[in-house]
Homo-oligomer: A and B are copies of this chain.
Amino acid sequence: MNQSQNEIREPDFARGSDGLLPAIAQDAQTHQVLMLAWMNREAFQETFRTGQATYYSRSRGKLWRKGEESGHRQKVLEIRIDCDADTILLLVEQQGAACHEGYASCFFRTCTADGLVVNQTRLVDPESLYPRSQST
């Protein structure tokens, strides 16, 4: 009867490099795969608790509350984990563009024999997303 208490209730962060696991964000309505980022346990727990996607920024070395600068937040409707409990899938309601390049999805380029081909229309000018940051 206590079996559910012994189940893994969260991802197995010990399986990740430096305690980080990949987290995929998918648009719950369009089903478009938006991006992949990384989560540590703290990011996962904050996401679970707040319902807003929070990742761990490897480059900045700290929690990254998606959209805190751009306003392009992700409301998390569902969190799934895979069979090995080492990958996270978020079903989200995306505000604005998920990609800092201004595209709906970060996966806006297709690999072809002739090189990379853009497969989406840009939604917003990336310069308008981060007005305080320098483009150099």
Contact = CB atoms under 8 A, between A and B. Distances in A.
Contacts of A35: 82
Interface in A96-117: 99-101, 103, 106-111, 114-116
Interface residues of A, number: 39
B89 A107 contact: yes
Given A17-B17, A80-B107, A109-B80, A7 B115 contact: yes
- Stoichiometry (number of copies): 2
A106 B81 CA distance: 8
A31 to B, nearest CB: 4
Interface of A: 4-5, 7-10, 17, 22, 24, 26, 31-33, 35-36, 48, 78-84, 87, 89, 99-101, 103, 106-111, 114-116, 119
B100 A83 contact: yes
Contact of A114 (B4, B17, B99, B103): B4
Contacts of A116: 7-9, 81
B81 A109 contact: yes
B36 A33 contact: no
